Structure 1
């Protein structure tokens, strides 16, 4: 009997040591990402390109980069929203240049035109934030998404990012400096009912992990940033639901989004289930910033602080990182972890369905 007690005691001590080590690592990451000076400051005076930069998290990221002295080029589909975002950033950061370029990033010819514009205007990009994303019309089983809906999700969440990364990286490597940030999402793990979207985010994470090793010693970094949902922008939160909602947005639909983390944005065709992008936007607009759903500015500040720091795949905001660690990471046995993932995905679907129904009824 004493032998069994001794074995259980050793096993318990080992498990406690593993959990303590993971907790210490999490605390170290919080301190490293949140307390040290942002590495992006070394790029003062350089150009940053932010896709989906006309509203929400994308605009907030551009403003945060401008606050560190970087010139910013905002890209999205709506010129009117771009002009408004640029004017707002210029009013707060008059020491930097703010330019805009309207493009539909789901179209390859628009991507090529953007790259041609950079060459013609001699605008070397040192920081790329591939933030535009979304185009998910609803929560649904994979087989219920039409081919055109899946293609739209792949174009915006995948191809748009990959083309810009592949074409802009050689210049960064040649100059020996730069950072690529692909805004991913925790949906690569909570991808149930968002399968095409989650698959692109998983591919994005894998790409940045490979680039992390390929770029070793080049002076260039590549990272996939994994935010979860963000609430309304701080200024919009004070205005009520009519204010802007956090998001990569940027394609002129007005849909709510949180970078690429909240997938309901940039929808290019009406959802076939009866809900609409505006219904989802209204549902998201009813949410207010919390510890686990921060304001757009808070999420953006965390993302910018993490550029060039934390490894190839990073969850930049501490509230999202803590939630992911407690709910999804290997704090639990694998079987229990998978059970938790499934329950969280089903709970999210039920929550969004309820919000959409309420928005439609209202």
Structure 2
């Protein structure tokens, strides 16, 4: 007869194995097998900030394939016209509005433009994608005042006030989906040295999203924070020297995965290899992750200063 302690240990081992197996199966289902929601059920329009480059532009290209009309928001009017023309060439039956505004400037004016753009249209999906980071890896005391103010205005205040501008009409219709693009810099790793303010603003986005998810879930509004790791965008290139790979998707590949997750969990990492990296990161002690992040930042800093 086996000792009681050995039976208890075996039972605990079995429970641990069962728990991890269920988590793995759930991840496979939600990432690859679960049917995406019909985004048209939220409304016939989508609004995307930071819509002319990278993830924002890729989101726009995916949402029109869902049959949604678009409100594209970005600071560069010429780029907005170019992206709008490209989309219209493929989807001439869809409507597109453009709003040119630099969120690092007069935020009230930009929010006013957005409020005007959403009048009379059913914005069912909001993608808060706009974001900026440091021009290079910098210690906290080195960051210029205007850079600090710009990052806070764009990443933190921009997302907050755009959400507040779009939310009331969603509440009137009792349906809507809000996606805030966060960052692994604030969630997956315990620190993001030499890009501290950027990471802190993205941590705010995560907390904002989770709280809004709880506030509005029962009122028909699905709020989600999507947490990508590196994606091959111009923004990411300021943080590390990266190229598209199995672990660094293109914006298009990321957006395809991200669209499938809208309307489900309050926080998700849509791209499969990002989720795998997050899983392994959670197994490492914080001291190793801190040292790894610092080494990347210092190497990037040395490349720029060389």
TM-score calculated relative to the size of structure 1: 0.75
Structure 2 residue matching 1:347: 3-state secondary structure: helix
Alpha-carbon shift at residue 50 of structure 1 (Å):
0.5
Find the counterpart in structure 2 of residue 271 from structure 1: none
Alpha-carbon shift at residue 344 of structure 1 (Å):
2.7
User: Does the CA contact (< 8 Å) of 1:48 and 1:128 recur in 2?
Assistant: yes
Residues 71-123 of structure 1: CA distance to partner in whole angstroms, max 9, x if unpaired? 1111101111111111222223333222211111122133233234225x523
Find the counterpart in structure 1 of residue 252 from structure 2: 297
What runs of 5+ residues in structure 2 fail to find an aligned partner?
none
Alpha-carbon shift at residue 40 of structure 1 (Å):
4.0
User: Does the CA contact (< 8 Å) of 2:137 and 2:297 recur in 1?
Assistant: yes
Find the counterpart in structure 1 of residue 279 from structure 2: 325
Find the counterpart in structure 2 of residue 314 from structure 1: 268
Bigger mean CA deviation after superposition, 318-327 or 147-156: 147-156
Structure 1 residue matching 2:126: 3-state secondary structure: strand
User: Does the CA contact (< 8 Å) of 1:49 and 1:127 recur in 2?
Assistant: yes
Shift of the 116–15 alpha-carbon distance from structure 1 to 2, 3 Å rule, reads same
* 2:101 maps to 1:146: no
Find the counterpart in structure 2 of residue 208 from structure 1: 209
Cα distance in structure 1, aligned partners of 2:294 and 2:221: 39
Shift of the 137–35 alpha-carbon distance from structure 1 to 2, 3 Å rule, reads same
Cα distance in structure 1, aligned partners of 2:64 and 2:42: 9
Cα distance in structure 2, aligned partners of 1:81 and 1:131: 16
The 5 A counterparts of 1:79-94 are: 79-94=77-92
Cα distance in structure 1, aligned partners of 2:28 and 2:76: 36
Residues 277-317 of structure 1: CA distance to partner in whole angstroms, max 9, x if unpaired? xxx7xx75xx43211100110011111111101x2111111
Structure 2 residue matching 1:346: 3-state secondary structure: helix
User: Does the CA contact (< 8 Å) of 2:182 and 2:228 recur in 1?
Assistant: yes
Q: 1:32 aligns with which of 30, 33, 37?
A: 30
Residues 193-251 of structure 1: CA distance to partner in whole angstroms, max 9, x if unpaired? 211111111111111111111112211111111111112xxxxxxxxxxxxxx3xxxxx
Structure 1 residue matching 2:97: 3-state secondary structure: strand
Shift of the 82–19 alpha-carbon distance from structure 1 to 2, 3 Å rule, reads farther
Cα distance in structure 1, aligned partners of 2:127 and 2:24: 25
Alpha-carbon shift at residue 19 of structure 1 (Å):
5.9
Bigger mean CA deviation after superposition, 182-191 or 90-99: 90-99
Shift of the 26–99 alpha-carbon distance from structure 1 to 2, 3 Å rule, reads farther
* 2:60 maps to 1:62: yes
Structure 1 residue matching 2:218: 3-state secondary structure: coil
Shift of the 20–291 alpha-carbon distance from structure 1 to 2, 3 Å rule, reads farther
Structure 1 residue matching 2:285: 3-state secondary structure: helix
Cα distance in structure 1, aligned partners of 2:21 and 2:148: 38
Alpha-carbon shift at residue 355 of structure 1 (Å):
5.0
What runs of 5+ residues in structure 1 fail to find an aligned partner?
232-245, 247-255, 265-279
User: What is the Cα-based RMSD across aligned positions, in Å?
Assistant: 2.6
Find the counterpart in structure 2 of residue 132 from structure 1: 130
Find the counterpart in structure 2 of residue 347 from structure 1: 295
Cα distance in structure 2, aligned partners of 1:178 and 1:84: 28
Shift of the 26–103 alpha-carbon distance from structure 1 to 2, 3 Å rule, reads farther
TM-score calculated relative to the size of structure 2: 0.88
Alpha-carbon shift at residue 182 of structure 1 (Å):
0.7
